Structures are given as structure tokens and as C-alpha cells.
Amino acid sequence: MTLIVDDAGSGDLLFGVVIGAYRKETGEFKYDLVDVRFYQDIFREKEYLQEAARVVTKLVAKFNLESDENIHICQGCIFDVAAEELQKVYGADRVKRVHVEGEAQRLVEIAYLDEIRNLGYEPLAERDEKRGKNFFHMMRWLRDNPGMLRYAKTGWPRLKNYQLFKPFHAKPIFNAVCSKCGTKCEVPFQPKADKTVYCKKCWGTHRSVRSQRSRKLHNKRKPIKR
């Protein structure tokens, strides 16, 4: 027998990710979720890989695999850590990375569509053929329903180019005291005791002086024409 593991929603703007396991010989299907929070503020830490591994391990355990049963897991990068963990437990010869299609893919996709419909969103009928159109369809829905932005993968770096998501990519501002004039100011980095901090006015003066020094040094290095 073979257990097939696949995901749906990894490349979609809305909701988290559905991970499903399907045993084709018996038709058994179970699924769980990688919560959308792993694709928001902490997305850059890639903790979703560890979470996907946890979900997969939990799902596989529910099937009580036979000693000769194989596991086929999707080639998607979301399963890179999961595949390694499964190979440690079940052996490299029983765990294979494959391109998933057919019934396993269909059931996981249905589960994802059910989840986003529960949010009140109706997906495009041709979403698989028109991924670009699908993205903008979801974005327009979020624009019309701003309260649902908590269910969007707002941590994606490319979203900073869209006005709707800019607040989620704004750099944090920290309070500081200017090292030169002692004025309280705000800076876009975490102040450190051993690092010089300038207010906006002093930074302009400092930058101007530094530029002048740089130009003088450059002129001194110019070869003498004979």
C-alpha cells in the first residue's frame, strides 16, 4: 500500500495551507492545517517548514502504516523538512518525493476550497488555469473585506508593492536620543549603546561633512598629469 501526502493553498494569498494524506488502496483521507500566522509576521523565519513537518508526522501516524507501506510526499518545498523527518523514522527507501496528481491532489484541493469558502470567499472556477487572475481576485475580495486580512498571507515580501499590504511591511520605528545634540528622536533601527545615533538634522550635517571628506580624499588620489 502507499500513503500519498500533498498540500493545497501554499501559493494562494488567502488562508493557510491544507496538508492531506490519502491511502489510495482504501480511499482513506485525512487532512490538517498549517495556520496562516506562519505566513505573516514570522514568514521570513521559515517556521512554516517545521510546522508542516509536525502536521505531516501527525497525519501519517493516524494511518498506522504497515511495515511494507510506502509514503509518497509532494516535491513542493513546504515538505523539505517533513520528508527528512519521515525518512529518519520510516527509512529513505520507503519515503519518496513525487509529483502528486489524481485523487490525492483532488481531495486536498477540495479541502482547501472548503476552508476558504468558510471565510465567505467564493473561489474562481478556473483558478488552476489562471493563477495570476486568481491572485488578484483574492486581493480584490480582501480589499472589499478588510476585516479578513487576518486570514491573508501578508508576510510575502512581494506584497509590499501593493497599497493594501504596505502597513504589514512598514519598518518599525524606535525612540532614541541623538548622540550629538541630545534631542529625542525616532530611528528605523534598534538603538544600541555602542552605536552612534543622529537625529534628522544632525544626520544631514554629518552626511554633508562625510561627503566633503570623501571628495577631498578622492581628489588627493588623482594621478598628477605631466
Per-residue pLDDT tens for 108-138? 999 999 999 999 999 998 887 777 899 999 9
pLDDT tens-place string over residues 177-196: 989 898 998 887 778 878 88
6 — pLDDT class (breaks 50, 70, 90)? very high
- How high is the pLDDT of residue 166? 85
Q: In sequence order, what DSSP letters do the residues of 56-120 get, joined into one string?
A: HHHHHHTT---TT-EEEEE-SGGGHHHHHHHHHHH-TTTEEEE---THHHHHHHHHHHHHHHTTT
The reply to whether 33 and 143 lie within a common domain is yes
The grid cell for 50 is 517545521
User: Beta 28-34 vs 17-23: how paired, if at all?
Assistant: antiparallel
Of 53, 93, 43, the residue nearest 76 (C-alpha): 53
More confident residue, 163 or 145: 145
- How high is the pLDDT of residue 213? 65
Of 7, 10, 30, the residue nearest 100 (C-alpha): 7
Q: Which domain does 34 fall in, by range?
A: 2-167
Cell 501519517 sits on residue: 60
The reply to whether 64 and 133 lie within a common domain is yes
Residue 188 DSSP label: S
The reply to whether 49 and 133 lie within a common domain is yes
217 — pLDDT class (breaks 50, 70, 90)? low
- How high is the pLDDT of residue 215? 66
d(CA 88, CA 85): 5
| Residue 99 CB neighbour total at 10 angstroms | 10
Domain holding 40: CATH number? Answer: 3.30.420.10
**Of 127, 143, 167, which closes a domain?**
167
Residue 225 falls inside a structural domain? no
Q: How many structural domains does the chain have?
A: 2
The reply to whether 127 and 146 lie within a common domain is yes
Q: What is the mean pLDDT of the chain?
A: 90
Residue 14 DSSP label: B
Q: Kindly give, in sequence order, each residue whose CB lies less than 8 Å from that of residue 145, ignoring residues fewer than 6 positions away.
A: 120
d(CA 95, CA 172): 43
Q: Kindly give, in sequence order, each residue whose CB lies less than 8 Å from that of residue 95, ignoring residues fewer than 6 positions away.
A: 70, 71, 73, 83, 86, 87
Is 148 exposed, middle or buried (CB count within 10 Å of its CB: 0-12, 13-18, 19+)?
middle
The reply to whether 186 and 211 lie within a common domain is yes
Question: What residue type is 54 in one-letter code?
Answer: R
- How high is the pLDDT of residue 218? 58
pTM for this entry: 0.75
The reply to whether 30 and 100 lie within a common domain is yes
The reply to whether 116 and 205 lie within a common domain is no
Residue 66 falls inside a structural domain? yes
In this model, does residue 224 exceed pLDDT 90? Answer: no
Residue 186 falls inside a structural domain? yes
30 — pLDDT class (breaks 50, 70, 90)? very high
The reply to whether 180 and 163 lie within a common domain is no
Question: What residue type is 26 in one-letter code?
Answer: T
The reply to whether 133 and 35 lie within a common domain is yes
